[in-house]
Copies of this chain bind each other. A is one copy, B any other.
Amino acid sequence: MKNQQPLLHRDTFRLEFGAGEPPLAHWAQQMKRSMLREMLAVVARPGILSFAGGLPAPELFPTNEYAQVTAHVLATDPAALQYGPPYVPLKRHIVHLMAERGVSCHEEQVFLTSGAQQGLDILARLFLDPGSPVILEERVYTGIQQAVAPLEPQILTVTTDLETGMDVEAVAAYLEQGTRPALIYVNADCHNPLGVSLSLEKRRRLVELACRYGVPIVEDDPYGFLHYDGRAQPPLAAFDNRCVFYLGSFSKILAPALRLGWMVAPEALIPKLTVIKEANDLESSAFTQRAVCAYLDAGHLPAHVDDLCREYRRRRDAMLAALERYFPAEARWTRPAGGMFIWVELPGRLDTVALLKLAVEREKVAFIPGTAFCADQRPLLTGELCRAAHCLRLNFSNCTPERIEDGVRRLGRIVASEFGHR
């Protein structure tokens, strides 16, 4: 690279200009970092016992097996490092994974993405015009808010029952009044942040409504394979394959750094999805697609997912037991059937943003305040308390049962000291 010497000495050449920064798009001027991301940055200090992030347990990653398949693919597949079309053998594996979730599809409906977040982004572009209405739950995964934000949508919210999930009759009311949202976002299994799974009756009703009114459902299902009690429910995509756009991911069942997920969509829309993805990042890594495919070829996944479920069940149970032991009797929390999160509602008009500060300073333990997940951020701006201000999200997948017991004990001490309970 000796040719790369510049022709000029920059010191003598730098131009001097008067103008300021280039103007940004309207939405980008308003844009703020999500409170979730800000808080994750704040609590990522050494020595903090964190229930804040949504991180899988790194000690459970199939690192050795993945090292084997990457070495094998690089040694044997000359197309591994090149540009290439979506890898069909991987799509075939995904068809089988979907069948395990009760979803019947064929490989032409499988669309590979760089993680489920990219699926959200692509579907937002496919469906939203500027200012379009979208239906979200009041407490919702922040990634969907970020994906729709550039279109400056009208956010319509519905509440969520902590035992049966989304208020589907509120969705029905919007639709019956003539509202036609560009999409309805649903986390039917092991909701992030709430931990609840949608009841079977509500699943059926929601899909029926969406199809009747021709409104797409974006079903975000990162945790659908992480189920700890009895049988999983079929996802919404099991009931329909025209109105439900299913998003799956290898992030939680293999590893986040693969940045590989998938969508199941009507075959007729795959060409449009492809154009949007090309604009987005051209394509997902041919190498990663082949490595994950080789991992699946080797038959490693079922035992690995069983291992994950066994360990995460222990961690969930440890957290539920510790909450019972150390949290005030008036507090309520969800009992998730899977996934990674428990949602806690503290009694009274408590502010968990203030609580977090104390918890980090005094007890070196962290969580995410409920407010971070409010779909409608306007109450924050006007000074009103969001209806999740007394709530918090706890992650149980990233700590051992022993640390969970210890951390919830410390957190319970702060809650008790601040609010005079126990």
Binding site for B on A (CB under 8 A): 1-8, 10, 13-15, 17-26, 28, 31-34, 37, 53, 55-56, 58, 61, 63, 66-67, 70-71, 74-75, 78-84, 100-102, 104, 114-115, 117-118, 120-121, 125-130, 132, 143, 146-147, 149-150, 180, 182-183, 200, 204, 207-208, 211-216, 225, 227, 230-234, 238-240, 242-243, 251, 255-259, 266, 268-269, 271-272, 274-276, 278-288, 301-302, 305-306, 309
Contact = CB atoms under 8 A, between A and B. Distances in A.
Given A55-B82, A63-B74, A287-B257, A302 B238 contact: no
Contacts of A281: 114-115, 117-118, 121, 259, 280-281
5 contacts: A1-B305, A1-B306, A5-B231, A6-B233, A24-B127
A258 B285 contact: yes
| Pairs of residues from A and B, 9 with the lowest C-beta to C-beta distance, nearest first | A6-B102, A17-B211, A81-B255, A146-B279, A19-B214, A22-B216, A257-B287, A6-B234, A257-B286
A238 B101 contact: no
B101 A231 contact: no
Contacts of A305: 1
State the number of copies, please: 2
Nearest to A200: B7
Determine which residue in A34, A71, A287 has the highest number of CB atoms from chain B within 10 A of its CB, and name it. Answer: A287
A280 B124 CA distance: 10
Contacts of A302: 1
B58 A79 contact: yes
B20 A225 contact: no
A274 to B, nearest CB: 7
